[in-house]
Each structure stands twice: as structure tokens, then as C-alpha cells.
A and B are shown apart, each in its own frame.
Chain A
Amino acid sequence: MQFGIFSVSDVTPDPTTGRVPTENERIKAMVAIALKAEEVGLDVFATGEHHNPPFVMSSPTTYLGYVAAKTSTLELSTSTTLITTNDPVKIAEDYAMLQHLADGRVDLMMGRGNTGPVYPWFGQDIRTGIELAVENYALLRRLWREDVVDWEGKFRTPLQGFTSVPRPLDGVPPFVWHGSIRSPQIAEQAAYYGDGFFHNHIFWPKEHTQRMVEFYRRRFEHYGHGAADQAIVGLGGQVFMRKNSQDAVNEFRPYFDNAPVYGHGPSLEEFTSETPLTVGSPQQIIERTLGFRDYVGDYQRQLFLIDHAGLPLKTVLEQLDILGEEVVPVLRKEFAALKPPHVPDAPTHASLVAAAGGARDATVHAPADDVTGRAPAEAAEEVEP
């Protein structure tokens, strides 16, 4: 099972000091957090994508490319990549490039995005969100799997004879998850392709997660990708930990009370009982997290949200220390002991390459250069003495 963290990249004032980080500080903090995640032994770091303040992460592959260069084992992912408002051609190109630079340590989570104005800013309409997700993803898959694509759809300029470069590393596209809180159509999409399904599992009661995951598993089996319990499931989660449970509650409360999403509403205690949020000792985090399995079954990826609502970098790094030293090693052992052998791990580049029968270079050598009209081989001959 993979463990990691995911960030929404918010720039939020620290409610205990009133201090607001600059964008630059937040961006550098997100780098420090990702590097620390690898250092403490986590498997995955995923970043959100946003195109409006108070968020900084408009350009995930630039950021992830930088993190890739400074890490060696960390799987780089997204939470989510906007499949609705991004051009699928650009997603194909950007993430294939990242995949090469990161030596395959890349997967993606597709999401629709819930910020209304982002759609018109990028020339789309939120009311067609599901259709956009369906069409754009179908194109993205072809761009990664077919060297030359002829394509026509409803939302994007048609393509004739288009080759998305670079071709996926070793001829194997990155693994894709689909994230949705409550749209069965997206769980259906994930099941149809045999892709992974990720539930945010932070803001809403567990019943929503349970129903979405059950549906995805049932449809995964329906489409013939394996038994329902072999479907690839990821969950979010939100934690704050201190050695003593009461210290965790006291320290986190002002951040909770003023958090952009749910602040000034329910109490920390009410939200903890209504949603998967867990604030307490490492042991409490371990017990609650192991309990997720009771309503989603054996799953493959657990990501925690730990760096939002204005929490200072120092605190976030301490949280990572606790996760890495006290929480994740226990979870790893316990989950592994519970998992039956026929339940697969989350696919990685290595496992996908193996499943494809080995690595192959997928480079497409163009027959002729558009500018000179000459094939690269001819041009090479001319310059040789």
C-alpha cells in the first residue's frame, strides 16, 4: 500500500499570528514539504491545480519537474489535474515530459474542478463538466497510446495526423486515477477503463465515500478488469497529530475554526465525528485510518492533507516526522497483514512496464522536417563529409 500526502496549495493567513505567507514562500514551502515526504519514507506526493487566488499551483508540471530533480523514490501525482479546462493535448505532452524527467515516477488524478469561473476563463462551461471529462480523457488516452492521432470531438479543434511528443517513457503511459466526491459517472469512467478511483474523503461523511467506492468496484468487475475487490482505490484523509491527544486538539483548533472550507461552522468535535478528520495522538490516527478499510475494503493508496488552513511550514514538517516515524510504519504493517494476496498493489511505472512485456523505446522519428521538408536522415547525410 502507498502512503503519501496531498496539498491544495492554498495561501492562507496563519490565524494564530495573522501572518500571510507570500506566494514565493508558499511555493518554496511546498517544495520543502515534498522533499521531506521522501525523506521520512512516504511514497507519494500529489499537488492540486488551481487558477485563482488564494492558491499558487497553476503549473503543476513545472513544480513537479523541479521536485523530481531533487528526489529519487517519491511518486509524483496530482490531486487533481483539471481534465475539463486543460487542453488534453497539453496534458499529454506535459505529463509525458515529466514522466521522462522523473524516470517514470509519475501518475495523475483526473478531476473536474469545482470553481465555477475557471470554466469560462478557459473557454468552457461548468454545465458540460461531465461531458468534458469524458471526451477530453478519451482523447488523452489515445494521444498516449497511438503514435498518430486523427480525432474530432465536440469541445476541441480537430486533429489530423497529430503526434504527441515525447512519447510515453518505455512506451507505457502514466497510471491514471479519477477523483470525484459524488458523481457516479466519474466512478463509472474509472471502472470502464480499469483506471484507479480516488475519493477525497475529507469534507464529507464516510457514507459518500463508501457508496462511490462500492459503485466503482461493482462497475470495475462489470467491465471485466478483475473482481470488485481488485479494483484500484485511493482515499484522502485529514489528520493533525501530537504526542498527547489534547495538545493536538488545542493546537489545531484555531486552524480548524478559521479554515477556508468549513471554518466558522461546525465545531472541531462535530466535524471529527461527521467526517474522516482525525485530530489526536499517533495511536488515534492509526486506529481511525485502519478503520477506513472497514467501509471501502482493501485499498491501494492513502493520502493525507496536512499543510492547509495556514499551518506554518515548521508545523507541517513536524507532522511529516510523526507520520514517517510513528504512523505510516505501523499502518504499512497492519494493512499488509490484512490484505489478501489476490488484491493488487497500486500500479507503478515498473509494474506497468512489466505488464506490457518490458520496456520499449517509443520515440517517433518524423519522416520529414516541417520546416526543411527533409527527412532527418537525409539532412544528416548532407552535413557528413
Chain B
Amino acid sequence: MSNDTRALAVVSAGLSNPSSTRLLADRLTTATVAALHERGITPTVEVVELRQHARDLADSLLTGFPNASLREAVDTVTGADGLIAVTPIFSASYSGLFKTFFDVLDKDALTAKPVLMGATAGTARHSLALEHALRPLFSYLRAVVAPTAVFAASEDWAGSGGALHDRIVRAAEELADLVAGRPPAAPADPFDDPTTSFEELLRRS
């Protein structure tokens, strides 16, 4: 199955440029792409920088629909076979921008989708926000979340980086297994001819 392809979406909620959140997202992406190659899969990668959609997201909360530019980002994530989602930790949780993006997704958009979570912050004291805030969010959305979540504090970017590197590789292997283990995504079209006839709907009532 060496011709297998999958679509990988990367959501980064970093605010500065360059951002350590994006840096972590890129490291996770590179490692996942390598791990997928080992499994005979050639992934495509699309990165969604939420900073570019900050106003689109606020508008979408008010109007109830994503504008054209945000719609592209939403479609990228909804249609992906695997998602890498990375946020800075603000006030003990994901950033508001990060949460808003997942708020405007369709409630079924991530159902059964393999997700790898990452987060960044100034110190390692924030690391469990991944487990206490991000994991419940993705569980609620019925995503399949890789057991290893990757946290990078400022100090992790210094030194030989062995520990961070190992976590990135382990997490990427887990995501690659999840992505390789399921068929390519085929989102249901609500406008396909209905599988339940209207007569049946009538009988149910």
C-alpha cells in the first residue's frame, strides 16, 4: 500500500511571529510525516494559523457562519484524516482563540478523527493543562486522541533537547498508527438522498 495518501491538518494558535507554538507544531508535523512514510503513507499537510483568522472567528460567533476565508480553514480540518492541534497555555487552559476555532466547527467535525495535542508555555508548571483542558475538549468532540500529548516549556528549547525530542517522536508514532489504522476520511454529505424515507420519519412520530 505504498501509494496510500492521507490529509494531515495542523492547527496552531500561536500569537507571535515567530511563535514557539508554531515551532512545536512544525516539529510534530515533521515527525508525523516521517512516521507515516514508514507506514507506506504519503500525507499532504495543510497548516491553519489561527492568528490569521482572529477576526473571522469573532465574526463567526456573531453571524453563525464562517466567512469564506475561515470556511477554508474549517473545511481543511473537517476533511483531514488526522489533526495536530497546538495552543499556548493562557490562564491555566487553551487560549481563547484556540477554543473559539473548535467552537465554530460542526459538532460532528472531529468525530473519530485522530488528534495529536500539543501546548506551549513559559514554564513546565502549565503542562497538565493538556490533560485537564485539551483532552476533555477533544473527548467531548469524540475525537480519538493520541495517548501522548506534547508540552514544550521555554526551557525545553535549550540544551540537547533529548526529552522533548523523544516525546515528539513517541506522539508522532501514535498519531501515525491511528491515521494508518483507519480508511481515508469521507465526510457525510447531509444533502445526499436521505437513507430514511419520509414515510419512516412519519411513522416514528
Contact = CB atoms under 8 A, between A and B. Distances in A.
B191 A211 contact: yes
Interface string B1-26: 00000000000000000000000000
A101 B205 CA distance: 33
A154 B205 contact: yes
Nearest to B67: A274
A188 B194 contact: yes
A63 interface: no
Interface string B35-79: 000000000000000000000001101111101100000000000
Given A266-B59, A266-B63, A134 B202 contact: yes
Contact of B68 (A192, A262, A274): A274
Interface in A193-216: 203-205, 208, 211-212, 214-215
A329 interface: no
B201 interface: yes
Interface string A67-110: 00000000000000000000000000000000000000000000
B204 A205 contact: no
B46 to A, nearest CB: 21
B183 interface: no
B205 A134 contact: yes
Interface in A272-293: 274
Given A131-B204, A131-B205, A264-B62, A214 B191 contact: yes
- Size category of the A interface is 20 to 34
Nearest to B199: A192
B159 interface: no
Interface string A129-140: 011001100100
Given A184-B190, A203-B64, A211-B191, A265 B59 contact: yes
B65 A203 contact: yes
Contacts of A189: 198, 201
Contacts of A262: 62-63
Given A135-B205, A262-B63, A215 B198 contact: no
A384 interface: no
A156 B64 CA distance: 33
Contact of A265 (B63, B190, B202, B205): B63
B198 A188 contact: yes
A270 interface: yes
A153 B191 CA distance: 28
A155 B61 CA distance: 33
A274 B204 CA distance: 38
A175 interface: no
A265 B191 contact: no
A89 to B, nearest CB: 16
Nearest to B194: A188
11 contacts: A130-B201, A134-B201, A134-B205, A135-B202, A135-B205, A185-B194, A208-B65, A218-B193, A262-B63, A274-B63, A274-B65
Given A130-B201, A131-B204, A134-B205, 19 more contacts: A131-B201, A134-B201, A135-B205, A153-B205, A154-B205, A205-B65, A208-B65, A212-B191, A214-B191, A222-B193, A262-B62, A262-B63, A263-B62, A264-B62, A265-B61, A266-B62, A266-B67, A270-B59, A274-B63
